Structure 1
């Protein structure tokens, strides 16, 4: 219980601190670029047009909505984080108890040497499966709050107030879209989470087992092994970012807001259709970086070309 409470407090604090970053990221993901690009140079010194980064974008939001404007959608996001933490913890406990008998039998086999060569890999699969079940359950339960959070955020584009408050947003979504509206974008989100989790854990296992030596054979190896999970987690999140992007776009697609309707945004028939269109446009990484954002090719900007000289 104490561990769960500490996780709740820590998670809430991190959510509040990171909310402006997520807010800017979501607006970029849906393609909202209110500020013109400026001339700059890339890491090779070549002149390029760069779109405004996190701080310039956040400053623009503050200019229009004030500092409180950076925290649109915070309440439903806090609800999602709190409920998700509790559900994840409870499901993990239940799954651990349900597998206790199975673990006992496996331990007996290991003691007999029947699975000695694959015991570590088996443990990776077992722990990853438990974590996948817990994460997926928490994601499904909290996804309606995630949808409300995203829709509150993109109201900035049209300066709308359609989604205000958690209860009012629930009523609006149910009245216009029914129960399915609360789970818009759920499938790509679940797929991305599961693929990222399995990639992270399996890559960490391969690195720790076949690349790094056992901790006893080197003073720095143990420290490197402790960092492998974080590194593989970062790589996995980069590879599965398109799922995050597609999920967020589908959550606001055709929701009655300017940011989710033509001519501002396309209306997608399914998340696969969204994936295909983004892929054709070369936008699968849109919003992945909040700094050094290169302006997309094929667009004209009225800027002073002399600044490149």
Structure 2
């Protein structure tokens, strides 16, 4: 019996929720690093040339700390808004399926899911927004202000209005548009002018060009993701987004300039072999 569109969408939603659940601990630890929470002391290590350096805890050490504090379910704080986002993303994708303009889908998906969680294709780094970010960031100050999806909606709407659901929206969209155009343009230029048709594996190489470009450009556009995530938690009543950890930013450009001045525009882009920065951000335990 052939599968109906409803069955296919249900399967995609279930698969998306499963992947989201499995990868959530990675995103959770990454978010805590992004907001500058470093509860564990650095350890002495060495480079490949034998020079001693200080390394901040990697993902596994950080995750174990979260488990010690919050228990077995501690690494899944903020998961429900992300699952809600995954479902909405599938519905939005179904409404515009068949269009040749990938940017239209991404922008519509961004508008629909930004309050919950940012939709990201499999070749992109996963990102979270507003409700999910705030639920996870509560670990820093041990708050309980944001919990389930409906509680988050009521709290944000009551305190900030509709605009509160789209905090950090602009840098995310700008980063996505920049990523999309640059990825497609570079892949086209490489496939057209750099790959010789006489090469026996030319077609195979062209198939992987865009994938490789997407990984490279995702790293270069990471600051937009960081700024958007920091803005999502800034001045919302949580310790993770208030002084002395962060000043109250007047705009995302103010946030960008602050992180750039501190040399922290790529904070959280790595989960392993994290060297101690020149100036560590203040910790809630200090």
Per the alignment, residue 140 of structure 1 pairs with: 111
Question: Over residues 213-243 of structure 1, what are the superposed CA-to-partner deviations in whole Å (9 max), with x where a residue is unaligned?
Answer: 23xx333222222211110000110111000
Per the alignment, residue 37 of structure 1 pairs with: 42
Unmatched 5+ residue regions in structure 2?
A: 118-129, 282-286
Per the alignment, residue 73 of structure 2 pairs with: 68
Per the alignment, residue 114 of structure 1 pairs with: none
The Cα of 1:286 is off from its aligned counterpart by 0.3
Give the 4+ runs in structure 1 shifted more than 4 A. none
Aligned 8 A contact 1:197 1:236 in 2 = no
Residues 162-171 or 220-229, more deviating: 220-229
Tell me the distance in 1 between the aligned counterparts of 2:279 and 2:80. 39
Per the alignment, residue 185 of structure 2 pairs with: 202
The Cα of 1:16 is off from its aligned counterpart by 1.0
1:240 aligns with 2:221: yes
1:189 aligns with 2:172: yes
Aligned 8 A contact 1:132 1:197 in 2 = yes
The structure with the greater share of residues assigned to helix is 1
Query: Which one has the largest radius of gyration?
Result: 1
Question: Over residues 141-185 of structure 1, what are the superposed CA-to-partner deviations in whole Å (9 max), with x where a residue is unaligned?
Answer: 111113100000000011111101110110000111111111000
Unmatched 5+ residue regions in structure 1?
A: 97-126, 301-309
The Cα of 1:3 is off from its aligned counterpart by 4.8
Question: Over residues 54-82 of structure 1, what are the superposed CA-to-partner deviations in whole Å (9 max), with x where a residue is unaligned?
Answer: 00000000011112010011110011111
Per the alignment, residue 269 of structure 1 pairs with: 250
Per the alignment, residue 126 of structure 2 pairs with: none
Per the alignment, residue 91 of structure 1 pairs with: 96
1:282 aligns with 2:253: no
- RMSD, matched Cα: 1.5
Tell me the distance in 2 between the aligned counterparts of 1:77 and 1:3. 20
* TM score, norm. by length of structure 1: 0.82
The Cα of 1:193 is off from its aligned counterpart by 0.8
Tell me the distance in 2 between the aligned counterparts of 1:19 and 1:299. 26
Question: Over residues 122-154 of structure 1, what are the superposed CA-to-partner deviations in whole Å (9 max), with x where a residue is unaligned?
Answer: xxxxx4xx1101111111111111310000000
Per the alignment, residue 166 of structure 1 pairs with: 149
Counterparts in 2 of 1:287-306, with a 5 A limit?
287-298=268-279
The Cα of 1:10 is off from its aligned counterpart by 2.6
Aligned 8 A contact 1:132 1:194 in 2 = yes
Paired residue for 2:209, among 201, 222, 228?
Answer: 228
* TM score, norm. by length of structure 2: 0.88
The Cα of 1:299 is off from its aligned counterpart by 5.5
The Cα of 1:298 is off from its aligned counterpart by 4.2
Tell me the secondary structure at the aligned position of residue 40 of structure 1.
Answer: strand
